[in-house]
């Protein structure tokens, strides 16, 4: 199995882990501060209990059901043996008990995403992605999505979303109390704590910024793990570059001359991801790129499921 210098990979993954822990901890601390401002020490306990209950009783949706909502349908191994062979090989390298199920999204948009958990996961790939990328680039993209499943990133981001929603609720309650108490404070000459006022008002925005930063950190980590699985940083970098050239950024160029600010993105800027991947590539000390499983070195076979290109319909769906 081809791998990078383990010291380089460990350093990158450790940094990403620390960043993720700090961001999640910061979001939890922010919710705790709001609870303390509203109810004192008991408020912190109630906020923690509410978050724990939300996590424990949050509905667990099957990835099959989630993906069907996007218009995707499952591809069976007979329809895409090459893709299943490739995905199974990468999943085995990642130590997953079983390979994720594979779904096809009938859209020309270049996209791939994961759903579910490491023990019950699925990966969806779009028609546009399968047509635009070669086998080496697809291997990098699949490894990136497998990395998300192995790290249970969907659960991590769900937890962050729950904490963020709790922060918004506590902030709303605090704002309502301020509206009620402010006239009384002004009338009786009480001093208004400006710092507490600012925390209550801006806490949801800070929580959203932390949640987006956490999402970007998990993307960086998935890139590093993907490279560990394939030993081919350049393959994933080429895929990201192709995605950026074909479709990336056109909405920003059309509607936002300066682009979307980095802190408002769920994904890191593509050029930064490519730069980091190529830096890993230079650390490979001449190792060969990902060795494709036997039978795939000639590329993907024609897939019956994408015999015709999907077309956009008036109802917003692709067929």
State the SS3 of the chain: CCCCCHHHHHHHHHHHHHHHHHHHHHHHHHHHHHHHHHHCHHHHHHHHHHHHHHHHHCCCCCHHHHHHHCCCEECCCCCCHHHHHHHHHHHHHHCCCCCCEEEEECCCCCCEEEEEECCEEEEEEEHHHHHHCCHHHHHHHHHHHHHHHHCCHHHHHHHHHHHHHHHHHHHHHHHHHHHHHHHHHHHHCCCCCHHHHHHHHHHHHHHHHHHHHHHHHHHHHHHHHHHHHHCCHHHHHHHHHHHHHHCCCHHHHHHCCCCCCHHHCCCCCHHHHHHHHHHHHHCCCCCCCCCCCCCCCCCCCCCHHHCCCCCECCCCCEC
What is the rounded CA–CA span in Å between residue 46 and residue 134?
A: 52
Q: 194-230 vs 233-246: helix axis angle to the nearest 10?
A: 120
What is the rounded CA–CA span in Å between residue 70 and residue 303?
A: 21
Q: In the annotation, is 145 catalytic? A: yes
Of 137, 145, 219, 228, the active-site residue reads 145
Please give the structure tokens belonging to residue 267: 């994904």
Active-site residue list? 145
């Amino acid at each position: 199995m081809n791998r990078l210098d383990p010291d380089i990979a460990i350093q990158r993954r450790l940094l990403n882990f620390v960043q993720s822990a700090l961001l999640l901890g910061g979001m939890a601390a922010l919710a705790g501060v709001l609870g303390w401002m509203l109810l004192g020490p008991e408020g912190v306990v109630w906020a923690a209990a509410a978050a724990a209950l939300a996590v424990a009783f949050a509905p667990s949706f099957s990835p099959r059901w989630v993906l069907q909502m996007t218009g995707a349908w499952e591809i069976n191994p007979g329809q895409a043996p090459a893709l299943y062979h490739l995905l199974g090989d990468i999943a085995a390298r990642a130590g997953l008990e079983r390979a994720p199920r594979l779904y096809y999204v009938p859209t020309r948009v270049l996209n791939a995403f994961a759903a579910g958990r490491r023990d019950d996961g699925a990966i969806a790939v779009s028609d546009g992605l399968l047509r635009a990328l070669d086998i080496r680039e697809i291997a990098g993209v699949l490894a990136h999505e497998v990395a998300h499943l192995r790290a249970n990133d969907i659960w991590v981001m769900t937890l962050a979303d729950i904490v963020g929603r709790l922060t918004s609720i506590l902030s709303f309650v605090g704002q309502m109390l301020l509206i009620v108490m402010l006239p009384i404070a002004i009338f009786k000459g009480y001093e208004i704590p400006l710092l507490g006022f600012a925390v209550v008002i801006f806490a949801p925005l800070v929580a959203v910024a932390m949640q987006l930063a956490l999402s970007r950190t998990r993307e960086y980590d998935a890139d590093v793990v993907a490279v560990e699985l394939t030993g081919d940083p350049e393959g994933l970098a080429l895929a990201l570059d192709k995605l950026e050239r074909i479709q990336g950024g056109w909405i920003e160029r059309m509607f936002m001359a300066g682009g979307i600010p980095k802190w408002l993105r769920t994904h890191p800027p593509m050029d930064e991801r490519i730069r980091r991947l190529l830096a890993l590539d230079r650390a490979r000390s001449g190792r060969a790129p990902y060795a494709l499983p036997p039978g795939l070195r000639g590329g993907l076979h024609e897939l019956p499921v994408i015999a015709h290109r999907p077309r956009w319909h008036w109802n917003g769906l692709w067929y």
